[in-house]
Amino acid sequence: MALQSFIEVKPDSHFSIHNLPYGVFKPQPDSSPRPGVAIGDYVLDLSEIAKAGLFNGPILKDSDCFLQPNLNKLLALGKPAWKDARATLQRLLSSTEATLRDNANLRQKALVPMGKVEMILPIAIGDYTDFFSSMHHAKNCGTIFRGPQNPVPPNWFHLPIAYHGRASSIVISGTDIIRPRGQGPPSGNSPPPFGPSQKLDFELEMAAVVGPGNELGKPIDVNQAADHIFGVVLMNDWSARDIQAWEYVPLGPFLGKSFGTTISPWIVTLDALEPFACDAPKQDPQPLPYLAEKISKNYDISLEVQIKPAGQQDSCVVTRSNFKHLYWTLTQQLAHHTINGCNLRPGDLLGTGTISGPEPDSLGCLLELTWNGTKQLSLNGTTRKFLEDGDEVIFTGFCKGNGYCVGFGTCSGKILPSAP
């Protein structure tokens, strides 16, 4: 018999019993934050489940990880604890288990309508790294900025390139983004212009949430790296392309990126994604031994970007891409991050970089979709080259199973005018 919940879950809901993504929420504005999982149109309050003594496995029964204001303590416990929690929650929410289903008092306390809660950042993010792992994106960006002769630098095919981002400006979905100000490229002999960014962009990304880290000086083996990844979120790494273009040589992104990065509130675990694993693209040349995986896999996650133009009620789909297009896998990214001895910690975030596909409608940012503003993008009777004040950008992502979905919900943000 297929796994079913006693809670009614619509077939197109992102939050089936096969998913059970983790987040942190407040049931009331004055409530303390607590961990939860999404199931249908409800959030299951894990603090109530823990206080009822229903996490009784050997690792979790004496742990207070579900009584914390974030998920970091759960992340640190590692894969055995995650598997124990998932098995317990799937059993408690199944249609054949009476423990929660037939306990009206516990159901009333533990199941909160999703429309009534406030979602907050689910993890305390100590460090944030952003990779550059999509070959299609790398080729397009290289062609735009350097021409078609050698668009991708030789090192890109040998290692997952990345930069260290700004953890303090990572915000939860629904948070407004203030248009950044900064310097842009000068014209001729004029000084560089200063003011609000004129080339504000989105970047369609996902990000891995690190579980147990590693000691300083002790790299993580690429074939064990999956044990150090708790799950994945949607991520919009907003970009000010004009600020970025002027500053990024020679040290890379800085103010063009650090003004805001938005993540979705729900972390979908690797266990939930496992049924949708697929082969990663063939890598040529063969990566060095420390990046050579016994099994190299991505996940078949359909991704979509919509823009709701300022003053309009309806949004318009501008991108349909897929996580499976990534050239460098999550596990290669994590292993490479630690190969020099760098220590990762629970709650660290590793962004994939923009996920572009091979088709014109699968490009993951406006830089590519408008070819750096040389083309207009049509949106519900209006046009855009880059984002304008009042525009809202909405990401969604999901995997389609047999009669159910494993999804991420939405990752959204609206652009507000530059601060005076």
In whole angstroms, what separates CA 24 from the centre of its chain? Answer: 15
Q: What separation in angstroms does the CA of 297 have from each of 230, 257, 313, 370?
A: 16, 29, 39, 31
As a dihedral over the C-alpha atoms of residue 42, residue 267, residue 396, residue 412, rounded to 10 degrees, the angle is 90
> Rounded CA gap, 119 and 15, in Å?
15
Query: Which alpha helices (DSSP H) does 232-358 contain, by range?
Result: 241-247, 270-273, 330-338
> Rounded CA gap, 373 and 391, in Å?
17
Q: Could you tell me the two tokens for 170? A: 């990572």
Tell me 1's DSSP state. Answer: -
CA atoms within 13 A on the CB side of 341: 2
Closest CA to 309 of 237, 248, 394: 394
Please calculate the CA angle 362-125-322 and round it to the nearest 5 degrees: 15
- The identity of residue 114, as a single letter, is M
> Rounded CA gap, 220 and 332, in Å?
10
Cis upstream peptide for 285 (omega within 30°): yes
Burial class of residue 3 (count of CB atoms within 10 Å of its CB; 0-12, 13-18, 19+) = middle
Over 32-83, what HEC string results? CCEEEEEECCEEEEHHHHHHCCCCCCCCCCCCCHHHCCCCHHHHHHCHHHHH
> Rounded CA gap, 244 and 198, in Å?
11
| Catalytic residue (choose from 14, 137, 228, 337) | 137
Residues 355/319, Cβ–Cβ less than 8 Å: no
Over 122-147, what HEC string results? CCCCCCEEEECCCHHHHHHHHHHHHC
Active site residue 136: no
Q: Which residues are catalytic?
A: 137
